[in-house]
Amino acid sequence: MNDTTFDYIIVGAGTAGCLLANRLSADASKRVLLIEAGKRDDYHWIHIPVGYLYCIGNPRTDWLYQTEAAPGLNGRSLRYPRGKVLGGCSSINGMIYMRGQSRDYDQWANITGDANWQWEKCLPYFKFHEDHYKGATPLHGEKGVLPELLQTGNAQDEHSTDYFKVLKARQAGGEWRIDKQRLSWDVLESFSKAAQQAGLPSTSDFNQGNNEGVGYFDVNQKNGWRWNTAQAFLRPTCYARPNFELWTQAQVAGLVIETGADGLKRCTGVKVWDGHQLLTATAKREVALSAGSIGSAHILQLAGIGNAQSLHDKGVAVTHDLPGVGANLQDHLQIRSVYKVKNAKTLNTLANSWWGKAKIGLEYAMSRSGPMSMAPSQLGAFTKSSPEHAWPNIQYHVQPLSLDAFGEPLHNFPAITASVCNLNPTSRGSVSLKSADFNDAPAISPNYLSTDEDRKVAADSLRVTRRIMSQAAMAPYAPEEYKPGAQYQTDEDLARLAGDIATTIFHPVGTARMGRIDDVQAVVDPELRVRDGRGGVVRGLRVVDASVMPTITSGNTNSPTLMLAEKAAQWLAHEALASS
């Protein structure tokens, strides 16, 4: 930490941060600092797929956030896992590769007024870093096949062309491995058949723009190991670059924001607590906040960028009154229906003895397959909770196991879980300061099930689950509804019971959302520059993570976060080249 002046400072070595660091440090003339509050990803359970059970709720890898008590959850507070380790949430998440639906991105383009966010213009940025087991196709990328962006440049001017030339010389692209799952379960095959009997089509690829159907999820694994963004984008690529520096166990305590002679604000660096002292790192070009939907909003608020009254109440000097910071929190709430089954192999029964656990461990050691290689959810489905919806609006994560919540023990009876979530919730929550001390976690209030529409979708989705479980394909297992309980039938009962059994599926977005220049709730512009609340931007400061999504994607959020980071890297490099 001797020389603390860099061209770029990236806050958060998670999903977006690792990709940004890779792309920006490809230019050997630019010094890049990547800052991570957690430790390195050398904890063995990170890399074993089933290890998420030991990473969530573990201070070694998790921020250990808790939500505020929620009326929609009948007064419950939820554990709110966020990765605090190299790789961020990609080190503890469910490993599911999911883009969402094309309408999500077309909606972003409409909200922001920027056509660059349309599905057809986002697709090349998904494909650029993909290494898909099916190989290169019009929808997917493959390592070793020159990405579309590098073939055409997709460049509007010479500076973008120069950026892609740098990446091509570095052999960038194809870092993000997408694998087929390495095991199957008879009971899940039967659920798939039951879903088809209930009217869902079968699909072999959820990532074509419309994810309707039932099928197996593709996962971010490689040869049976979790493939997190630290492995994909940092090791060994960035580690071998002399212009790249990584600080771990270093928490950003604030931003350095200065006022220029023209009266405009510029972010010139960050204040970092390394466990012993407070350091200042200086950015000659830009600071990119990639600390996630909780962390980035928290850092902005600590820097005095947020709702002026709320900041004043917590004793924080106001830099810019930007009321959208921390607002617009959206998340997918999963309603975990549990069904006891008979005549079925489930993880509950396989792992209920030391002998069973030993067999599972041996299978993984010998072939990198079996239950230890599995993502939390193997089978997925997308459908409509009721006929009036134009697109699939609910998603299933189906698991050959049951437990009260991730991090809790498996039940001692054979069971499966059909977890369903509302893909497009209308409830909006918030992230706000509890105090001006950076060590104090923010108040997280997702405000689940706070709208009539969300409660109706919750009730309807439980009925869809029951319809699937009542099909002939499931009859050999004599499924018995354990949660929420078949005795509950009315909309009111089902919405209330959803509040009792639902939990987060770990997809918070939207707390620093992008929007048009006249949108008073927008925190960043369409190129992710932080607004100053007066029609301009805070120079040298961007947010690059899921917090900028104006609306949540219709599926898991990790892959869309990588895509928007890919776009942001191009914009950052473009500005540097244009000014040189």
Cβ(52)–Cβ(93) below 8 Å: yes
Catalytic residue from among 129, 140, 320, 507: 507
The kind and range of the H/E element at 419 are strand 415-422
User: Which residues are CB-neighbours of 110 under 8 A, at least 6 positions away?
Assistant: none
Query: Hey, what are 347's tokens?
Result: 């993880």
d(CA 218, CA 214): 12
Secondary structure percentages of the chain, helix, strand, coil, to 5: 30, 25, 45
d(CA 396, CA 183): 19
Quickly count: other Cβ atoms within 10 Å of residue 144's Cβ: 11
Quickly count: other Cβ atoms within 10 Å of residue 255's Cβ: 26
Residue type (1 letter), 94: G
Cβ(106)–Cβ(118) below 8 Å: yes
Cβ(520)–Cβ(323) below 8 Å: yes
Look up residue 174 and give its DSSP letter: -
Cβ(505)–Cβ(78) below 8 Å: no
- Residues 435-443: contacts with CB within 8 Å, 24+ apart? 435/314, 435/315, 436/302, 436/314, 436/315, 436/316, 438/251, 438/252, 438/253, 438/254, 438/273, 438/302, 441/63, 441/65, 442/294, 442/297, 442/298, 442/301, 442/326, 443/68
User: Which residues are CB-neighbours of 331 under 8 A, at least 6 positions away?
Assistant: 425, 429, 446, 448, 504, 505, 506, 507, 508, 509, 552
* Three-state helix/strand/coil letters over 133-148: CCCCCCCCCCCCCCCH
User: Which residues are CB-neighbours of 322 under 8 A, at least 6 positions away?
Assistant: 300, 305, 306, 307, 523, 530, 531, 532, 533
Strand 443-445 and strand 379-383: the pairing is unpaired
Cβ(329)–Cβ(446) below 8 Å: yes
d(CA 238, CA 22): 6
End-to-end CA distance of the chain: 27
- Residue 507 among the catalytic residues: yes
d(CA 84, CA 12): 9
d(CA 120, CA 116): 9
Alpha helices in 198-259 (DSSP H): 229
Catalytic residues: 507
